Amino acid sequence: MTASLPAQSLRAAIEWAQGQLNSSASARLDAEVLLAHVLNKSRTYLHTWPERELDAQQQKQYANLVAARASGKPVAHLTGTREFWSLELLVNDSTLIPRPDTEILVARVLQLDLPQQAQVLDLGTGTGAIALALKSERPGWSLVALDQSPAAVALAQRNAARLELDLKVMQSHWFSALQSAETGGFDAIVANPPYIAADDPHLQQGDVRFEPHSALVAEQEGLADLMHIIAQARSFLNDGGWLVLEHGWQQAAACRDYLTAAGYTAVASGRDYANLERISYGQWRHTGGKTRSAVNHVE
């Protein structure tokens, strides 16, 4: 049953919603984001005009959204959008919801010494968040984004069109849509693959309950897809190309070991906003230092 909203002013509505969402660690933020969505305004507007009153329809809509959030439904699914790297992305239940910590991966790729016209591959693109963030910062780069889900491919294409960013999106199970060649083709390959073990209790908590299982869970204690990408990426990287991966906070040492064993150099990890090692990366060197244009790999 949806609780009624007793207050009409924006300030009072937020305070009421915060009370309804007291089990959420981000109750205040959730309340403000949902109210801004109802009004089609920014959160700054809420603080600028706190005494503005809601009409009856807005009160009803807000109360329904707050009730849905109180039941556990992600805010991003309620609003249909999520901000990532200052880009407003459309989201739905066919993909993962972009997380702030994934911006650490974007930042690391931008720090790499890549060509001005680098060719970059994003595996398991989902909403297109990583690829679109990179393209927004490096217009000269060519981005290819792959995902095995047709719904995710369609969503990433919509986000690219909406943001007016040039992104080639294709359906592919990891590298299956690309033609392998000895000399590679991409200057960087990035991925935020499934890395949660099937028996991890966190799968029954928070927003992940509403996200696709296939985008979260991997075999071999969550390491199977990471290992596959590390092994296969070597065939698609140019000489000196980089592989950058997001992973679980307890998987950095294993990823570094796999990267080193596979022959990558300059292997290291990076920390997220909670100071946990959440990305690992390495550089691939070809014998003879040959390269090949990545466009030759796209079917």
Give me 126's structure tokens.
Answer: 């989902």
Same domain, 51 and 176: no
- What is this structure's pTM? 0.85
pLDDT at 95: 87
Same domain, 190 and 67: no
pLDDT digits (tens, 9 = 90+) for 171-197: 999 999 886 434 459 999 999 987 665
Same domain, 129 and 271: yes
Write the CATH number for 24. 1.10.8.10
Same domain, 121 and 260: yes
pLDDT at 228: 93
For residues 264-269, give the mean pLDDT: 96
| Residues making up the binding site | 124-128, 147, 174, 192-195
Question: DSSP assignment, residue 3?
Answer: P
| Residues making up the binding site for S-adenosyl-L-methionine | 124-128, 147, 174, 192
Reply yes or no on whether the pLDDT at 124 is more than 90: yes
Q: Compute the distance between CA of residue 176 and CA of residue 299 in angstroms, rounded to an integer.
A: 10
Same domain, 60 and 185: no
For residues 199-205, give the mean pLDDT: 59
Same domain, 104 and 239: yes
pLDDT at 96: 84
| Residues making up the binding site for substrate | 192-195
Phi, psi of 188 (to 5 degrees): -155, 140
The CB density around residue 94, as the number of other CB atoms within 10 Å, is 18
For residues 94-107, give the mean pLDDT: 91
Question: DSSP assignment, residue 262?
Answer: T
Answer positive or negative: Cα dihedral of 272, 259, 124, 87.
Answer: positive
Reply yes or no on whether the pLDDT at 1 is more than 60: no
Split at pLDDT 50, 70, 90, the class of 23 is: confident
Answer positive or negative: Cα dihedral of 200, 280, 244, 177.
Answer: negative
